[in-house]
Amino acid sequence: MSSISIDIKPKKHYEILDGLRGVAALLVVIFHIFEAFNEGSRFKQIMNHGYLAVDFFFLLSGFVVAYAYDDRWEKLSQWEFYKRRLIRLQPMVIMGMIIGAIFYYFQASNVFPQIAGMEAWKVILTMVIGFTLLPIPPSMEIRGWGEMHPLNGPAWSLFFEYIANILYAVLFRKFSNKVLGFFVLIFAGMLINYTVFGPKGDVIGGWSLNLEQMNVGFTRLLFPFFAGVLLSRLGKLIHIKGAFWVCSIMIIVLFSIPRIGDENTLWMNGLYESIVIIFLFPLIVAIGAGGEIKNPVSLKICKALGDISYPIYIIHYPLIYWYMAWVIDNKVPLKDGYILGIGVLLASITIAYLCLKFYDEPVRNWLQKKVQRNRGTEAQR
């Protein structure tokens, strides 16, 4: 029997942050579409820094989680917290794996030569494991890229998102601001050490279950997530007019900056990314959280972008695998492939919206009602 009540009243909603999440999610899709044309080189990538959206998502998530739960732990058990996070995130994780399995054999190509001869039972097993978000080792990988979730690559970031939520619930929520700040400084040092002094000059990676990639994943996770927690606690928000549009432009510019330096000056790009993640992303979140939307059109735009942000992020990549295979196999130049690329973007938005309205929202509502009924039954015992 649970003796903990979680009759928790909702707080103010940050519509601008929802909208910014949507802007970043759309830019991720565009970044991945362009990725098909980079000839395997991070130096030739159009909209070069679009991958920083993941780090921005981690910061947003830390901010929102701390804002929603930091002052509620007297009424909230860890298990109830986990259930709330699972209800919010897990339905679309499952849908993303299903869509990845549906598209898998359509991606057979010279880019993914394993697919054509892959046994169906291995695809199904990978999908079922993917439902749990447990990472698979390279020895079980069915695509050839070494991904921990080869049916839906971006699910790696959700794996780390869950780790961050567990770390927050078990340990970091108990820290004072000074102790939390100390850890955030350490995590910032880890990030700078990897990007500026490391072997790549960027934060690309985190999606494979090996020591190198797990190091990248934790380096990308720890600073932004817990900096978001600290930012929420400090409450130092910035109030300016047109906050959503200002922040959106900032995100677009930061993601679109070309690669800085070359193979001999990797540290230059690493320094840029460290500055963006450590200083500019928190600045954007502080402006977004401190802003207000008075224009009803802007409010509708933010809501629409926020609603679609998570679904489009978690379902778009199976289409990208297929698009990338088509471009590379047929040696399609950008001037001939951009129209179909726009089609991939529109298809991703459409599928995400359909998943949201006919699957994600109904399933989450059903799960929330089920949890509430179970809680009421326990309270009567």
**pLDDT tens column, 266-304:** 999 999 999 999 999 999 999 999 999 989 999 999 999
- Between CA 66 and CA 240 the distance in angstroms is 23
Tell me the angle at which helices 266-275 and 177-197 cross, rounded to the nearest 10 degrees: 160
The DSSP code for 231 is H
Contact 103, 322 (CB under 8 A): yes
pLDDT mean over 27-42: 96
**Residue whose pair of structure tokens reads 């057979």 in the numeric block:** 108
Q: Which residues of 312-344 are buried (b: 16+ CB within 10 A; e: fewer)?
A: bbbbbbbbbbbbbbbbbeeebeeeebeebbeeb
Higher pLDDT, 235 or 7: 235
How many CB atoms sit inside 10 A of residue 202's CB?
A: 21
Q: How high is the pLDDT of residue 13? A: 87
Q: Are 322 and 106 in contact (CB under 8 A)?
A: yes
Tokens at 240, concatenated: 């300016």
CA distance 32 to 201: 20
Residue 121 lies in a domain: yes
By residue range, what is the domain housing residue 147? 15-380
For residue range 296-331, what is the model confidence (pLDDT) as tens digits? 999 999 999 999 999 999 999 999 999 999 999 999
60, 20 Cβ separation under 8 angstroms: yes
Q: Give the residue-averaged pLDDT of 39-44.
A: 92
Q: Is residue 5 part of a domain?
A: no
Phi-psi region of 208 (alpha: psi -120 to 50; beta: other; left: phi over 0): beta
Q: Tens digits of per-residue pLDDT, 197-235?
A: 999 999 999 999 999 999 999 999 999 999 999 999 999
pLDDT value for 122: 98
pTM (global) more than 0.75: yes
Q: Within 10 Å of residue 374's Cβ, how many Cβ atoms?
A: 12
For 179-215, give the DSSP string: HHHHHHHHHHHHHHHHHHHSSSSS-----SSSHHHHH
- Asked if residue 3 has pLDDT above 80, the reply is no
Give domain status of residue 1, yes or no.
Answer: no
> Would residue 3 count as lying in a domain?
no
Q: How far apart, in whole angstroms, are the C-alpha atoms of residue 308 and residue 310? A: 6
- Total domain count, the chain: 1
CA distance 121 to 95: 19
What type of residue is 310? Y
> Does the pLDDT at position 381 exceed 80?
no
Say if residue 146 is exposed, middle or buried (CB neighbours under 10 Å; 0-12, 13-18, 19+).
Answer: middle
pLDDT value of position 120? 98
Q: What's the half-sphere exposure (Cβ side, CA atoms, 13 Å) at 326?
A: 15
Query: Has residue 9 been placed in a domain?
Result: no
Q: Residue 11: its pLDDT value, please?
A: 73
Q: Give 1's pLDDT tier (boundaries 50, 70, 90).
A: very low
Percentage of residues of the chain with pLDDT beyond 70? 96
| Integer Cα distance of 181 and 165 in angstroms | 18
| Closest of 273, 269, 268, 250 to residue 188, by C-alpha | 273
Mean pLDDT within 372-380? 68
Domain contains 7: no
Question: What are the tens digits of pLDDT across the range 115-125?
Answer: 999 999 999 99
Residue 96 included in any domain:
yes
Number of CB atoms found within 10 A of residue 56's CB: 27
Is residue 212 within 8 Å of residue 283, measured between CB atoms? no
CA distances from 88 to 122, 188, 191 (A): 28, 28, 29
Confidence of residue 2 (pLDDT cuts 50, 70, 90): very low
- Taking 70 as the threshold, does the pLDDT of residue 98 lie above it? yes
What average pLDDT does the structure give for the chain?
A: 95
d(CA 360, CA 203): 31
3-state helix, strand, coil in the chain (%, to 5): 70, 0, 30
CA 327 to CA 321: how far, in whole Å?
10
Please indicate, yes or no, if residue 362 is contained in any of the structural domains.
Answer: yes
